[in-house]
Amino acid sequence: MEPGNLTRASEFLLLGFSEEPELQPLIFGLFLSMYLVTVLGNLLIILAVSSDSHLHTPMYFFLSNLSLVDISVTSTTVPKMLVNIQTQSKVITYAGCISQTYFFSLFVVLDDLLLTVMAYDCFVAICHPLHYTVIMNPRLCGLLVLVSWITSALHSLLEHLLLLRLTFCTGLEIPHFFCELNLMAQLACSDNFLNNMVMYFAAVFLGGGPFVCIIYSYSKIVSSIRAIPTAQGKYKAFSTCASHLSVVSLFYGTSLGVYFSSAAAHSSHSSAAASVLYTVVTPMLNPFIYTLRNKDIKGALKQFFEMSAIKNPAVLSLKNCT
pLDDT tens-place string over residues 155-202: 999 999 999 998 887 668 888 889 988 888 888 888 889 999 999 999
Instruction: Please return the burial class of 246, using the count of CB atoms within 10 Å of its CB with bins 0-12, 13-18 and 19+.
Output: middle
pLDDT digits (tens, 9 = 90+) for 298-310: 788 788 777 777 7
Task: Report which secondary-structure segment, H or E, holds 173.
Answer: strand 172-174
What average pLDDT does the segment 25-44 reach? Answer: 94
What average pLDDT does the segment 288-295 reach? Answer: 80
Domains of the chain from N-terminus onward: 9-321 (1.20.1070.10)
Asked if pLDDT for residue 134 goes beyond 90, the answer is: yes
Distance CA(29)–CA(9), nearest Å, equals 32
C-beta atoms surrounding 304 within 10 Å: 16
Provide the pLDDT for residue 254.
78
Provide the pLDDT for residue 215.
95
- In sequence order, the 6+-apart residues with CB closer than 8 A to the CB of 136 are 58, 121, 124, 125
Backbone angles phi, psi at 262, to 5 degrees: -70, -35
What average pLDDT does the segment 133-154 reach? Answer: 96
Distance CA(221)–CA(227), nearest Å, equals 10
Long-range contacts of 87-94 (CB under 8 A, 24+ apart): 88/24, 90/13, 90/14, 90/15, 90/16, 91/11, 91/12, 91/13, 91/14, 92/11, 92/12, 92/13, 92/14, 92/179, 93/10, 93/11, 93/12, 94/8, 94/9, 94/10, 94/11, 94/12, 94/168
Higher pLDDT, 273 or 317: 273
pLDDT digits (tens, 9 = 90+) for 48-62: 999 888 889 999 999
Provide the pLDDT for residue 297.
83
Nearest of 220, 218, 229, 297 to residue 252 by alpha carbon: 218
Provide the pLDDT for residue 5.
42
Position 82 confidence tier, pLDDT thresholds 50, 70, 90: very high
Asked if pLDDT for residue 65 goes beyond 50, the answer is: yes
Position 320 confidence tier, pLDDT thresholds 50, 70, 90: low
C-beta atoms surrounding 267 within 10 Å: 9
CA 15 and chain centroid, separation: 23
CA 273 and chain centroid, separation: 17
91: helix, coil or strand? strand
pLDDT digits (tens, 9 = 90+) for 99-129: 999 999 999 999 999 999 999 999 999 999 9
